[in-house]
Structure 1
Amino acid sequence: MKGPRKDNPSSIFYWKDYENDEGLRISSLAAQGLWMRLLCVAAKAEPYGYILVNGADIGVTGAARLGSVTEDEAQILMAELERNGVFSRDRKGRAFSRRMVKDAAIRKKNANNGKKGGNPALGVSAGKERENEGSLNPPLNPPVKAPYPLPHSQEKKEEEEEEEYAQATSSLSDADRLLLDVTQAVGLRSGRIPTYWMPPAATLHVWRWVTDLGLDPARIVDAARQSRAGHPEPPGGPKALDGVMKRLAAELSAPPMQIPPAATGGRNERPIFDRTINQLADRLSDGSVQLDHSSRDPWKAGTR
């Protein structure tokens, strides 16, 4: 998907949309400044809208150099932007601006429609296209909204383009989503994120609770939330929750508790216990046994 010419010094910028982006507005001023530098890179990238240089992801090192900060600071700022939904990643893990990718898709569709006279419903045949090639008087554009349904082929093409964009703007991976849910469950919703909660190390750590311990992500998030309720401050990293997750896995994998038989002779003494209780009840009812109410132990009995 091609964007503007790389030597084009300008492009359309939607200031209102930029200002109304809630995820960007709640981000720190440093993160907002870094994002603007990243947009400059995305405007010249191929594909358009992706934060790439010469087709390669710039990574934390490149972001640090763009923002004139250390790599640790750049990692924190990038995680903050991603956590607040300022940018997305495709299936290859490449960061991109959703708005710029969408604009590129619209430009591509408009360019293809322009070759047919500007209206996708025009349906010019192949012979007419050859006839109009090189003509100084191309056909006039009909109204943008045609009063009749689009041809089936055009509808199918639009569906394919929408599917392509949906794949490009797909949500986070399961591991990234789990890390985001856990950090929110322990109270890390805004501000600076501790180093040990930063991806990708933290992402791999929390995902091991699924692969190694066999826990369901929903149970993991619930356990993290319950653990946070018992502490005044969020944990310093996912490693602090390892004990919680291991105990949860042990509880879920433990077999049902069974009452073992009595140690004497391997017999089940429940009938003997029940018979003794019944005999004591009978003796209390006929007065042969009395409770010593003056004792600290109310069950200390004395016989007549």
Structure 2
Amino acid sequence: MSARRWAKFWWQDWQRDPALRMCSLAARGAWIEMLFLMADANPVGHLLVNGRTPNMRQLAAVLGCSEKDANKLVAELEENGVFSRSDDGTIYSRRMVRDKVISDEASANGKKGGNPQIKPKKSSKVKPEEDEGLTPSLNQEPTPPLKHQEAEADTEADIHSLTTFESERASSDASPGQAVAVALKPAKAKRACRLPENWQPSSEQIEFARENGVDPVKTAAVFRDYWLGVPGEKGRKLDWDATWRNWVRRDTSMRSPPPRRTQSDRRAAVNQAWAGVPDIEGV
């Protein structure tokens, strides 16, 4: 029995895996059963039972189907690139092997005290005269202001307002002749993100679509379904507003067709043309 009795399972990754979606329902069911065996194997992620690769008859017994059906299901999974094989032909899950490496690395760092790339902060010692409320000397370096921990979703405007507030506060609290050092945290680079599942176009986006002759309702439905179905990094964008504008500009299929001229319109055009022709009899 493996020491790992549970693991993280990402539902959306399973549903949006294009290789897995091309397989039949029976093949996907066989794959999840094979993943159960891989999670209990050593090394983790490889299709092994007691350290040995099961033959097709043994795998069929585990899957609960005939040997012929087991061969068919495994061939379907391999044809669509769901799994890989090691040099000796053992089936393994790329995702499970990669997650195991990351987990082992994190566990090793934890035993050493944490991530080695994060340097611990040095504790600042308080001098007796500071503790007593006396004015610090000019040669003494001022205590840097407290740095705020940023949330993952902080915007550039939030960061700018925070640093501006710290600068003004440090300047107002400084006494004459005292050097003040304000540690400003650089703004984070904007990170790409996926389109929210409940995304709807804003009023500005709807107006932009109408100005370009595009139906905003139909275009938004196609836009949302398309980008929610794009897997991996290709489905992440830095600026979804710009992506929407480019989509609208390229969209010609949703443009409203020109109004069709009726028989009465053609007659009115002919009558208007003849109206400018002089009467021959009256010449």
TM-score by length of 1: 0.38
Q: By percentage of residues, which structure has more helix?
A: 1
